[in-house]
A and B are shown apart, each in its own frame.
Chain A
């Protein structure tokens, strides 16, 4: 009986370790998946579709959507929230995958990580330089509240945060339209349709 308990205990410890994913391993595996797609001899649209699927698995799109909206998120009613998330997801997936699809055969090396707190780890990586472009530093802000399911919340390219840029872009659109959320919805729709 004692042996069985010990085995069960060990199994339990072991399985909990198996399911916890280190943020740097998570990022390296994500960029490897993306890199494989970008190296494939398939159409650009097909690449975009496959990159969208990776982004859905690995990015906290809902959290990012809330963040991008800034304080305006507090004024949304339930139906507006539902509409916003649909529009934001379409916009984000298109924008994110189109940006990545421009790169052919990118090689990203994960170098180090810095645990900020229980919720966040910054993973440092570089996009390896080629004869056509210099090396580019890319840091990933990984949300680790659920260690079994880490999610990307931001990309910081050469010190420039994409989440912050997106938030300021949304804020500018709202400010130019007297805070009218429908103007932002319209802009998001237009972007996704084009």
Chain B
């Protein structure tokens, strides 16, 4: 990557995080022991709703038809693709395990990556899972920032990529600033096998695989929501809270930290 591109991305990241710090001080999500979680602001709601509509149009016209086509592929191909993109994601998970101080999981995930990339034929077969490795949990730089105590900042809807927050968007810039070895090898690897096209294809496959696994859930949610935009926002933010807290079943204390509403209702 050219030097000035890195400089611009660094500047944007600093801007986003400093904006986040300002927003955080005016009442963003804080989960300290004695405080109840505060609502995450939707500072750009009008723009977010426009972007959300654009994404829905794109989804209906292009992404869903491709995802439906993908679902018609033979099961082994779908499973192999899913495993391969999951294997690539461990390249981002491992540094984040380290940054969060979870060296044991970093070591396990390194073992998983080595086994799956070699014996598992570039990750197509999840050998590690078959031989009893613990369940894989993805981590990213947004989660690490959250684990370090950085608040989410305002809610954002990104074109094509969908729901995010200022913190998570800033975190994802770390991938292109050297934090994603797969990106580095593809874009700057100077080898004949990897290039930008391979990287973008892997990212597109990851997105299509996710969409294909959730066609019915999304349709169901859209059909039964009063305000689909708001439902997606709520579910995304709950999911991120759980991931930062490393709670795969949801954190009852986080979900119900604000008990006053139920308590008031009980006393009526």
Chain B: number of interface residues, binned into ranges: 20 to 34
Q: Is A45 an interface position by the 8 A CB rule? A: no
Cα A70 to Cα B265 with chains together (Å): 10
B250–A168 CB distance below 8 A: no
Interface members, chain B 194-249 (any A CB < 8 Å): 213, 216, 220, 223-227, 229-231, 233-235, 238-239, 242, 247-249
Whether a CB of chain A sits under 8 angstroms from the CB of B100 is no
**Residue from A67, A160, A169 within 8 A of B227 (CB atoms):** A169
Residues of B within 8 A of A153 (CB): 262
For the complex, give the distance between the alpha carbons of A161 and B265 in Å: 18
Q: From known contacts A67-B261, A70-B261, infer whether A159 and B226 are also in contact, taking CB-CB under 8 Å.
A: no
Nearest A residue to B237, CB-CB: A168
Interface centre among A145, A164, A165 (most CB of B within 10 A): A165
Q: A113 near B: Cβ within 8 Å?
A: no
CA distance A122 to B250 in the complex (A): 12
B255 and A99 contact, CB distance less than 8 A? no
Total interface residues on A, using CB and 8 Å?
38
Indicate whether A191 reaches chain B with its CB closer than 8 angstroms: yes
Instruction: State which of A67, A169, A173, A187 has its C-beta within 8 Å of the C-beta of B262.
Output: A67
Residue of B nearest to A64 (CB): B265
Q: Return the chain B residue nearest A94 by Cβ.
A: B224
Query: What are the interface flags for A102-141 relative to B under an 8 Å C-beta threshold, 1 for contact and 0 otherwise?
Result: 1000000000001010010010100000010010010101
State which of B234, B250, B268 has its C-beta within 8 Å of the C-beta of A159.
Answer: B250
Q: Which residues on A sit within 8 Å (CB–CB) of B233?
A: 168, 172
- Hey, which chain B residues are within 8 Å of A63, CB to CB? 262, 265-266
A158 touches B250 (CB 8 A): yes
1/0 per position for A154-194, CB-CB distance to B under 8 A? Answer: 00101111001101111111000000000000011001000
Q: In the bound complex, what is the Cα–Cα distance between A191 and B239 (angstroms)?
A: 26
| Complex interface bits, A65-80 against B, C-beta within 8 A gives 1, otherwise 0 | 0110010000000000
A32 on the B face (CB < 8 A): no
Residues of A within 8 A of B226 (CB): 91, 169-170, 173, 187-188, 191
Check A124–B249 contact: CB distance below 8 A.
yes
Residues of B within 8 Å of A164, CB to CB, are 234, 238, 255
Q: In the complex, given contacts A63-B262, A139-B249, A160-B239, what are 20 additional A-B residue pairs having Cβ atoms less than 8 angstroms apart?
A: A67-B261, A98-B224, A99-B220, A114-B252, A124-B249, A137-B248, A139-B250, A158-B248, A158-B250, A159-B239, A161-B250, A164-B255, A165-B231, A165-B234, A167-B261, A169-B225, A169-B226, A171-B230, A172-B233, A187-B227
Binding site for A on B (CB under 8 A): 75, 213, 216, 220, 223-227, 229-231, 233-235, 238-239, 242, 247-252, 255-256, 261-262, 265-266, 268
**What are 20 residue pairs bridging A and B, where the CB atoms are less than 8 Å apart in the complex?**
A66-B265, A67-B261, A98-B220, A116-B252, A137-B248, A145-B266, A159-B239, A159-B242, A159-B249, A159-B251, A161-B238, A161-B255, A165-B235, A167-B261, A168-B233, A169-B226, A169-B230, A169-B234, A170-B226, A187-B226
